[in-house]
Structure 1
Amino acid sequence: MKKAKMQKRLFVLLAVTPAFGGYLLFTLYPNLLSAYYSLLDWNGISKPDFVGLDNFVKLFQDRYVWRALSHNLFYMLTIPPLVIGISLLLAYLLHNKGYKGTPLFKVLFFFPNVLSTVVVALLWAFVYDGSFGLLNSLLRLLGVPIGDFYWLGDMRTAIWAIIPPYVWAGVGFYIIIFINAMATIPKSLYESAILEGAGHMKRMFMITIPLIMPIVRISALFLVLGSLKGFEQQLILTNGGPAGSTDVIGLYMFNLAFGAEFHNYGYASAIGMFLFVILVGAKLLTDKLIPNRQIEY
């Protein structure tokens, strides 16, 4: 009996060690190292100087940090609701309408998730191109005198132009997630609602969404955190321009650490610590706004 317990513990230890070791090596250790770097004035090459909390004082006085963070908040308030709303609607239609081509639609909607972020950004850069872009060509077909307007080169439109690539790339994944969640709902609930005269909208908001709310909540959390820390598409599409109108805090931090002009690892690490606090706060706020209420049937 004692030997069996020892073998079980050894098996659990061997099974957990690779994952836990990877977490320590690639997550915990870099984060602790970043916390240490945030206390230094260091360009990554020369001897570092310990400056204590000076980087954090500089951070709170840096207007570019707050400008970038305001853009993050803008994307946080627009991208997650759009992705969740469109995904829920399309998932409900595909699951409850019983279209013959539902498997094909699933593949088509999921296709952007197969592409890398770089490919998605380059595709949308072509869409927004002023001379040969698909968007301007479509507007010209509709009779709109758009000329050679560069959507990513104008401060009024660039910040809005970042949203469609994120939505297009994210909707397909959450459609699949929501369809699988909806498949667990008993059909008898819908049948009873139909007998009582409930339409599609009422069934969706009174049955479907409440019963899959834990899945919606987790999806919203991932999207909120992603909109706060993501910067890859901004980097490829605009690199924060024009005139910083699409800069986000992750991109600002990246350019400080690895950009040609700065190489300030210490200050970039301080911004990373600040972003970590923001992400924790966003998680707690999401938990408060979307409580985890399990509804049983």
Structure 2
Amino acid sequence: MSEPTVVKVKPSYSGRMGMDKARTQKWIFLILAVVPPFGGYLLFTLFPNVLSVYYALLDWDGLTDSKFVGLSNFVTAIQDEYVWRALKHNLIFMATVPALVVLISLLLAYLVTYKSYVENEFLKILFFFPNVLSIVVVALLWAFIYDGTYGLLNSGLKLLGIDMNHFYWLGNDSTALWALIPPWVWGGVGLYVIIFVNAMSGIPKSLYESAIIEGAGHMTRLFKITLPLILPVVRVSALFLVISTLKTFEIILIMTNGGPSGSTDVIGLYMFNLAFGKEYINYGYASAVGMILFVILITAKLLMDKFLPNRGVEY
């Protein structure tokens, strides 16, 4: 038998034109979709970061001529006791705020997801409400709560028989730092409750039914079933919270501005005051402190990648 003849049909001229037009449209779409965000990233993120590295090598106040000083700013920053004091406060926040936010958010998300409360939808809105408020509003609200004369905290303690005698919580160096933790936690819990609720909604109910049959309580189900299955989500949330506690300073700037006597100062606020302060301005030194903060952030990220599992448990 003779082999079948294969006839190759060449695309017509109009067909080639259509293919070329489609290919051109694809490239135009890719350029319009990629170039603006990538250009914005280069202009507003990468370029300022690279420029700050150059500034860190200068002695410059932003107005007069700059002077190249090499690594002198970094040496000064390492020897600066205020940098270490601010870093200590950052580490305290990093050790407390993420743990409290994750734990409280997990408990609330579990109750909202697996408890048949009539008010569940309202509770989700209530928990998320602090995230709708700006940082300025949250800071001013809690500053009023801590007020010594009219504050809600002292009034509540007085009803319980504890008279604080007009004690101002943000004005005492022994309490100011710890008083900043509740507003930080209160302002962050709502978002992660919603995130954890969405993650928990994907867990098969059959796992909980089997656990209930075997006599497992709510805490056992939370830490033996729920947490292992949503561990990747918890890991990413904890990473965001750690980064936030290391670089955020706005709420501290509004509530205490690092006082009293520097007892609430953090790296971000110290860097801000160095660059835009009223008495002393040195962009070069502020950039060097910023580079140290950047190294700390990268180190924290690498440590979390190493010690926190990246994958959840599969049953």
Q: TM bucket by the smaller chain?
A: over 0.9
Q: How high is the TM-score relative to the length of structure 2?
A: 0.92
Q: Output the CA distance in 2 between the equivalents of 1:55 and 1:43.
A: 13
Partner of residue 98, structure 1? 116
Q: Output the CA distance in 2 between the equivalents of 1:296 and 1:12.
A: 38
Residue identity matched to 2:82? Y
Matched, 1:268 2:286: yes
Q: Output the CA distance in 2 between the equivalents of 1:182 and 1:8.
A: 39
- For residues 6-53 of structure 1, what are the alpha-carbon distances to aligned partners after superposition, in whole Å with 9 as ceiling and x for unaligned? 432331221111211111111101101111110110001111111111
* 1:155 match: secondary structure: coil
* 1:242 match: secondary structure: coil
Matching residue within 217, 237, 243 for 2:235? 217
The answer as to whether partners of 2:154 and 2:163 remain within 8 angstroms in 1 is: no
Matching residue within 178, 199, 203 for 1:181? 199
Q: Output the CA distance in 2 between the equivalents of 1:8 and 1:194.
A: 54
Matching residue within 301, 309, 313 for 1:283? 301
Q: Output the CA distance in 2 between the equivalents of 1:163 and 1:232.
A: 13
Question: Which runs of structure 1 show a deviation greater than 6 angstroms over 4 or more consecutive aligned residues?
Answer: none
Residue identity matched to 1:282? A
Partner of residue 71, structure 1? 89
- Shift in Å at residue 2 of structure 1? 5.3
Residue identity matched to 1:59? A
Partner of residue 14, structure 2? none
Matching residue within 4, 12, 15 for 2:30? 12
Partner of residue 311, structure 2? 293
Unmatched runs of 5 consecutive residues or more in structure 1: none
Residue identity matched to 2:136? V
Partner of residue 167, structure 1? 185
- Shift in Å at residue 3 of structure 1? 4.7
Unmatched runs of 5 consecutive residues or more in structure 2: 1-18
Matching residue within 260, 275, 294 for 1:257? 275
% identical aligned pairs: 68
Residue identity matched to 2:134? S
Residue identity matched to 1:80? P
Larger Rg computed on CA atoms: 2
Partner of residue 3, structure 2? none
Q: Output the CA distance in 2 between the equivalents of 1:293 and 1:106.
A: 27
Q: How high is the TM-score relative to the length of structure 1?
A: 0.98
